Amino acid sequence: MGDHHHGPAKGLTRWLFTTNHKDIGTMYLWFSFAMFILGGSFAMIIRAELFQPGLQLVEPAFFNQMTTLHGLIMVFGAIMPSFVGLANWMIPMMIGAPDMALPRMNNWSFWILPPAFLMLASTLFMEGGAPAFGWTFYAPLSTTYAPPSVTFFIFAIHVLGVSSIMGSINIIATVMNMRAPGMTYMKMPLFVWTWLITAFLLVAVMPVLAGAVTMMLMDIHFGTSFFSAAGGGDPVLFQHVFWFFGHPEVYIIILPAFGVVSQIIPTFSRKPLFGYASMVYATAAIAFLSFVVWAHHMYTVGMPVAGELFFMYATMLIAVPTGVKVFNWVTTMWRGALSFETPMMFSLGFLILFTIGGFTGLMLSIAPADFQYHDTYFVVAHFHYVMVAGAVFSMTGAVYYWLPKWCGRMYNESMGQVHFWVSFIGFNITFFPQHFVGLAGMPRRIPDYALQFADFNMMSSIGAFIYGASQILFLYNVIATIVAGEKVSDEKTWDGAEGLEWTLPTPAPYHTFEVPPMIEAEPAH
């Protein structure tokens, strides 16, 4: 692994060739923020078109390209890489390791991402336009009826899949082999636990996604008929394969968010996490169940009734471990000494809004009721409560929480509070009314809608612009902190914080834990 006793290289080559987990983590975080802004700007176009009934700004075909790219970029470009970035930064520091286990592979798994997304974004300028078949790309709309750019889309999915698999292998290898002496599995911080389980999910299901797009590629170019009834295939098979990947994917996105919140809430409650062991078991249970619930996305395709019942019951069961987690977080706060700095505010926002998203998820699991909810704005509202208020809020909280440790400077607290409140209010104005229009009968993925949905859509669009604008404040606050924030040097930025990362100097030096730390006998979580 070479000589560790030097600082970072100078200039561009530092970033191109770096094998340092902190550098790579930083690049992941900035890349994912760039993708968040890009995917967000597509969302702004969508909401602007939906501001009023009628077609104002874009053609329906382009609208579909926007919804497709918004979904793909947010899921694969923004949320997933942001948590990989966080894992890179924090996991070695949390388990007392000097770096990731496979630092060169770490470099590759980051650097193949930007070209993949560049290719995906460039489909916008290709003949026939970008993919317009939704982020779920159901065949045959994505095969026989797809624009020519679908081949580039498939290649991009393959590349980012490879990146995710490499990243996950690295995380698992790090956690399994690089823990400091005495850091047993049941002493690991919950963020490390949730990421370990997430990484196993990724290794298991990203190849399934690769399989699905490979079958598409073969159907389009090599005359096979996996998804075409004409040659003995079946378009519904695509949905089964996709959701066999897609449902675990949902937990891949949310589990690290659970981990982050489980670090932040105890810190600002000044009280240890309640039910650490049950948190670990609940996470594992959720991951396990995620493999047997995929067809709840397909209640309307005409499954046998026995299948519907199986998937309904299995899906409802997920409410049990998820409930355990929520109860544990609330109990952690109970009789703590709470304070409400920005990271805590985002965690509380997460807790409230994710719980609402969980409730609508439970409603959606009820097969007969889902016949009315399926593919409406009710679903859009549900998964944005989980994806945005869940994953993105938690990620935002994580940045505020660890930013002082990363750069040795404190962010502007009042600006952070403003960011939280504007985000929280903007988010709810955007997505709460979508429950109503969904229940009233508005299908998703339409560029224009009936007049009865007009008021709530306008409200939704206004909320989206507010939420979008608040992210600029976030960007400003982060940059201002890095450039000119008030310097901090306490090892513990937060008086209630526990864990190995808070035993390190602030800012964290380029190389940390070259000598493994001594782990105290008491649990460190």
Partner 1 sequence: MMRINANPTMDTAIKLLAVAVAMFAFVFVVMVPLYNVLCDVLGINGKTDGTAYTAVSTVVDESRTITVQFIAQNNDEMPWRFKPQVTMMKVHPGAANDTTFFAANPTSDDMVAQAIPSISPARAAEYFHKTECFCFNQQPLDGNADTAMPLQFIIDQDLPKDIQTITLSYTLFDVTEMVRDAVASR
Partner 2 sequence: MSLKKFMLAAVSLVALALPLLAGAATNQLNMSAGPTDIGAEIYGLHMLILIICVVIGVAVFGVMLYSIIYHRKSRGYKPSTFHESTKVEIAWTIVPFFILIAMAVPATSTLLEVYNNDEAEIDILVTGYQWKWKYEYLDENRENISYFSSLATPQSEINNTQQKNPNYLLEVDEPLVIPVDTKVRFLVTANDVIHSWWVPELAVKRDAIPGFINEAWTKVNKEGLYRGQCTELCGSYHGFMPIVVHVVSRDEYDAWGAAKRADADAQAAMSTQELGLNELMAKGESVYNGQCLACHGANGEGGVGNAIAGSAVALGDVSRHLDVGIRGVAGTAMQAFGGQLSDVDMAAVLTYQRNAFGNNTGDIIQPADVVKHKQG
Rounded distance between C-alpha atoms, residue 205 and residue 249, angstroms: 8
What Å distances lie between residue 404 and 139, 258, 482, 486, 506, CA to CA?
47, 21, 9, 10, 7
Binding mask 234-253 for partner 2 (x = CB under 8 A): xxx-----------------
Cβ-based nearer residue to partner 2, 34 or 317: 317
Rounded to a whole number of angstroms, the minimum distance from the CB of residue 375 to partner 2 is 4
Residues 6+ apart with CB under 8 A from 483: none
Stretch that binds partner 2, among 10-18, 247-255, 383-391, 450-458 (CB under 8 A): 450-458
Taking Cα atoms as reference points, which of 113, 98, 81 lies closest to residue 22? Answer: 98
Q: Is residue 255 a contact partner of residue 197, using CB atoms and an 8 Å limit?
A: yes
| Under 8 Å between Cβ of 27 and 3 | no
Question: How far is it, in rounded angstroms, from Cα 474 to Cα 479?
Answer: 9
Distance separating alpha carbons of residues 120 and 440, to the nearest angstrom: 35
CA 140 to chain centre: 28
Cβ distance to partner 1 smaller for residue 240 or 445? 240
Displacement of CA 318 from its chain's centroid (Å): 19
Judged by DSSP in three states, 109 sits in helix
Contact 455, 411 (CB under 8 A): no
In the bound state with partner 2, the residue whose beta carbon lies nearer, of 33 and 456, is 456
256 vs 447, which CB is nearer to partner 2? 447
User: Cβ 134 to partner 2, closest distance in Å?
Assistant: 5
Contact residues toward partner 1 (CB under 8 A) are 101-102, 105, 165, 168-170, 172-173, 176-178, 203-208, 210-212, 214-215, 223, 225-226, 228-232, 234, 236-237, 240-241, 244, 302-304, 306-307
> Cβ of residue 450: shortest distance to partner 2, in angstroms?
5
Nearest approach in angstroms of CB 276 to partner 1 is 25
Rounded Cα gap, residues 262 and 173, in angstroms: 23
> How many residues bind partner 2, per CB under 8 A?
101
* Active site (annotated) includes residue 168: no
Out of 319, 473, 482, 504, the only residue in the binding site for partner 2 (CB under 8 A) is: 319
| From partner 1, partner 2, none, interface partner of 203 (C-beta below 5 to 8 A by class) | partner 1
Closest by CA to 292, choosing from 273, 323, 316, is: 316
Instruction: Compute the CA torsion angle 136, 140, 143, 147 (nearest 10 deg).
Output: -80
Residues 467-502 as b or e (16 or more Cβ within 10 Å = b): bbebbeebeebbeebeeebeeeeeebbbebbbbbbb
Residues 7-66 that bind partner 2 (CB under 8 A): 53-56, 59-61, 64
**Which option in partner 1, partner 2, none does residue 476 bind, with CB closer than 5 to 8 A by kind?**
none
Q: What is the CA radius of gyration of the chain?
A: 23
Shortest Å distance, C-beta 145 to partner 1: 9
| CA 124 to centroid of chain Cα atoms | 24
Closer of 206 and 282 to partner 1 (Cβ):
206
Q: Decide which of partner 1, partner 2, none touches 287; Cβ closer than 5 to 8 Å per partner kind.
A: none
| Subset of 84-143 contacting partner 2 (CB under 8 A) | 132-134, 138, 140-141
- From the candidates 296, 382, 409, 525, give the one annotated as an active-site residue: 296
**Binding partner selected for residue 227 from partner 1, partner 2, none, CB under the kind-specific 5 to 8 Å limit:** none
From 21, 22, 70, 384, active-site residue: 70
Cα-Cα-Cα-Cα dihedral sign, residues 160, 161, 162, 167: positive
User: Does the active-site annotation cover 249?
Assistant: yes
Please identify, using beta-carbon distances, which residue of 234 and 491 lies nearer to partner 1. 234
The smaller minimum CB distance to partner 2, of residues 281 and 510, is found at 281
* Annotation marks residue 70 as catalytic: yes
Position 307 contacts partner 2 (CB under 8 A): no
525: annotated active-site residue: no
Report, as residue numbers or ranges, the catalytic residues: 70, 99, 135, 163-164, 247, 249, 251, 262, 296-297, 322, 325, 444
